[in-house]
């Protein structure tokens, strides 16, 4: 199966409508036409390709129009057989024979890629197509990977007989999952766990709050952990849906927080009694790991907000929530230490020693 003339109408103008959705290639007579979005800037690269196996970058055999190395504003066409999610050197396409490749920049700024593409015998009527754009500065730069951008879902199918095309769906669904992932983790690791720590550290100093503080602490931590597990699982699922797009630091911190949180849950079953000789060491472990989880959780929430590129109002809202919890903690720190020191002073006048109500805020 051979098409005598392959034409990709690729936008390469500096004037770019961000709301435009890529449409990929379509057939007209003996030609394949397409209109992906333009490069992020004038002089960027534009690409279109077929993938014999799936609608993904991995396995795509692509025609890539790049600015000529000699300059002058012209474009040349390179062919890439993509394995994984990084480009190697240009070379021939294993599944498709190409010839007469050329690229022109029209007066309207569009880059037109021409060539002959010969398909293998047995190629079905419907093929997977992938298109993409990105910056070019001495080499092909990475395309936009921000959630919700057109680049994330630049794929679909092309019917070689009818010319009909379909665009991949699910971009909005993935963005909703990412938002859900962020909300679950912000509520759990970023709010409920800090609240649980405040209950444990400060309320137990007040005699009237014993043992209610303990149940409040456990409830916040268990609910927070449960919600956090849901958020973590959603993140793992999103990673599986976004092959080739990896936020290593965000992922590694998330895995660490989940692992430490799970360790804290199991440690509850190993908590020694108050008079046990190892109780002090258990307290040190419990507090150290707990505060580490809270700090890493908050850091990772801001990291996630940066990845999602959320509106400033959401960042501001979370900062205000954390600031309120921090202010409450500072006030209670002063109040509880005042109560403890007062009780110590009173107890020093008696022979009964420190009473149960005079425990330090860090004791548990």
Is 143 annotated as contributing to ligand binding? no
Provide DSSP, 198-264: HHHHHGGGSGGGTTHHHHHHHHHHHHHHHHHHHHHHHHHHHHHHSTT---HHHHHHHHHHHHHHHHH
Confirm or deny that 287 is annotated as ligand binding.
no
**How far, in Å, CA of 322 to CA of 294, rounded?**
11
- Is 250 annotated for ligand binding? yes
Q: Are 187 and 227 in contact (CB under 8 A)?
A: yes
User: Is 217 labelled as part of a ligand binding site?
Assistant: yes
The CA dihedral of 227, 232, 238, 244, to the nearest 10 degrees, is 160
Residue 132, number of CB atoms within 10 A of its CB: 24
Here the tokens at position 113 are 């890629």
| CA dist., res. 344 & res. 342, Å (int) | 5
Q: Looking at beta carbons, which pairs linking 326-329 to residues 24 or more positions away fall under 8 Å?
A: 328/198, 329/198, 329/201, 329/202
Region of 168 (left: φ > 0; alpha: ψ -120 to 50; beta: rest) is beta
- Angle among Cα 77, 10, 138 to the nearest 5 degrees reads 45
Task: Pick out the residues of the known binding site for heme b.
Answer: 181, 217, 250, 286
Which positions make up the binding site? 181, 217, 250, 286
């Amino acid at each position: 199966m051979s098409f005598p003339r392959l034409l990709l109408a690729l936008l390469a103008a500096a004037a770019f409508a961000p709301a435009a959705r890529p449409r990929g290639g379509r057939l007209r007579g003996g030609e394949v036409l397409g209109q992906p979005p333009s490069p992020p800037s004038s002089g960027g690269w534009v690409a279109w390709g077929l993938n014999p196996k799936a609608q993904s970058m991995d396995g795509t055999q692509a025609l890539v129009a790049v600015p000529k190395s000699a300059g002058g504003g012209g474009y040349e066409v390179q062919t890439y057989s993509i394995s994984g999610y990084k480009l190697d050197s240009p070379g021939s396409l294993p599944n498709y024979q190409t010839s007469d490749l050329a690229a022109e920049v029209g007066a309207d700024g569009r880059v037109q890629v021409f060539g002959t593409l010969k398909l293998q015998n047995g190629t079905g009527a419907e093929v997977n197509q992938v298109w993409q754009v990105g910056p070019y500065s001495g080499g092909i730069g990475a395309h936009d990977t921000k959630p919700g951008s057109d680049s994330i879902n630049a794929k679909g199918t092309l019917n070689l007989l009818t010319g009909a095309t379909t665009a991949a769906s699910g971009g909005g669904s993935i963005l909703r999952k990412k938002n859900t992932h962020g909300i679950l983790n912000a509520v759990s690791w970023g709010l409920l766990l800090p609240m649980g720590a405040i209950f444990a550290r400060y309320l137990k100093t007040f005699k009237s709050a014993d043992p209610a503080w303990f149940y409040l602490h456990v409830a916040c931590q268990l609910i927070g952990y449960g919600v956090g597990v849901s958020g973590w699982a959603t993140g793992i699922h999103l990673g599986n849906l976004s092959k080739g797009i990896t936020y290593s630091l965000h992922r590694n911190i998330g895995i660490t927080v989940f692992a430490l949180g799970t360790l804290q849950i199991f440690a509850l079953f190993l908590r020694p009694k108050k008079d046990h000789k190892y109780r002090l060491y258990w307290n040190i472990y419990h507090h150290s790991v707990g505060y580490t989880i809270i700090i890493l959780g908050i850091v990772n929430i801001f990291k996630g907000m940066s990845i999602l590129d959320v509106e400033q109002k959401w960042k501001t809202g979370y900062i205000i929530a954390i600031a309120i919890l921090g202010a409450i903690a500072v006030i209670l720190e002063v109040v509880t230490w005042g109560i403890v020191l007062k009780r110590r002073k009173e107890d020093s006048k008696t022979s009964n020693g420190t009473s149960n109500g005079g425990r330090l805020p860090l004791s548990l």
